[in-house]
Structure 1
Amino acid sequence: MASSADTRPPVLHRHHVALLLVGPLALAAAGATHPAHLTSSSAEWWRQVHIVMLPLFPLLGANVWILLRGVWDGLDGAIATGARVLAFVYAAFYTALDVLAGIANGALVANSNDTGIDVSAPKSVIFGQGNDLAEVGVWALVVSSILVSVVYARRFGRFALGGGLVLVTASVSFLDSHVYPVRGVVTMIGFGVGAVVLALHAVRRHEALVTATPGHHLS
């Protein structure tokens, strides 16, 4: 039997549900305008949209921390700590893709419009380096999402499997979808839907506990 430390649910409030949607929906909106290809005509917007997304991509990792709020002790605490570390790895490595393939390559191609210099070779090298780093980051997010789902399944049983499945599916799709429309946009929305479905279990459990125990409050 799991100990009380293992079964204490994440402590989430209704405002956390709204916070979980900020990153995914903002990325979906930005992704809807993402050029399909980096060309001389799309280079400037390519660069600008990746600057916009620079603070947004890490929010997918921040969602892991929100979902696991209050989970520190016992076996679930250890699983949650692993998920948090992997979410940080994702944020660091995927930011590298945004800077290299997005901002740097966008600036490189835009500048070549003025200089007339052929930048296809360095552009290819930068894309390759960015994609290699992004792969590390997204695999970290995939495993992190699986660990989040495990914690919620242990806390809330089979009722949490749906949200976990959506979250993990979005993470796997992210391996090669980025935020390109249409699939990448749907993937970002999937991150939000999966996180919210999971969070609602924690919010309801918390509110039920507060209602059942007059004067009791979990921060």
Structure 2
Amino acid sequence: MYQRPASEHLQRPWLVHGIADDFTLEDVWLVPAPGSSPTDMARFLALLKRRGEHSTAVVRFLFAARWKLGKWFGWDRSGSGLDGRVASLRERVSPELRAAPDPSSGLLRPVYVLPTEMAAETANATVHGVMHCGWVPTGDGYGLELAVYTKPNGRLGRIYMAFIRPFRRFIVWPAMLREWARAWEDRADVGDEGDADGTAQG
């Protein structure tokens, strides 16, 4: 995996551009996925779900530390995130897309899921964040592009983002994206049931 210029993400006609235009684009990464097709989003999400999240020890430690700090400082208390301090970006998409994903699954709440791209969000007292994934052509097929958007909450949010930026860019995302790449490489071991949960929407 490797970082991509922001311009390469911004020039593609992703749906996220129209619903997160007041957010800041923080990072863009590309995970090679040889043998993939441009409509493999549901399949890839199913593979990740089977493997589980945050599987490396370093990433698990950093997330545990983050949750501990959040508990101490009240960053994650009720009302500080989605449907409290901020409105969900699901309100900015069409009713058809809004009804498609389950809004209550996992740490990241799905905003929309399409065969070629998806977006999910999270929010707390420090920041409102969006993770976007989309399939892009590469030299040997397609790769999964990851883009991270953020909207810090005032001075606290800006300080928080500045503090975690090195950890996110040099430890967390590289480790997690290596796991994503391994999940794709190992896909033959779990079969091709990517659309079994109905997450793909046309």
Which TM-score applies when normalising by structure 1?
0.24
More helix by share: 1
Larger radius of gyration: 1
Give the structure with the larger strand fraction. 2
- What is the TM-score of this pair, normalised by structure 2? 0.26
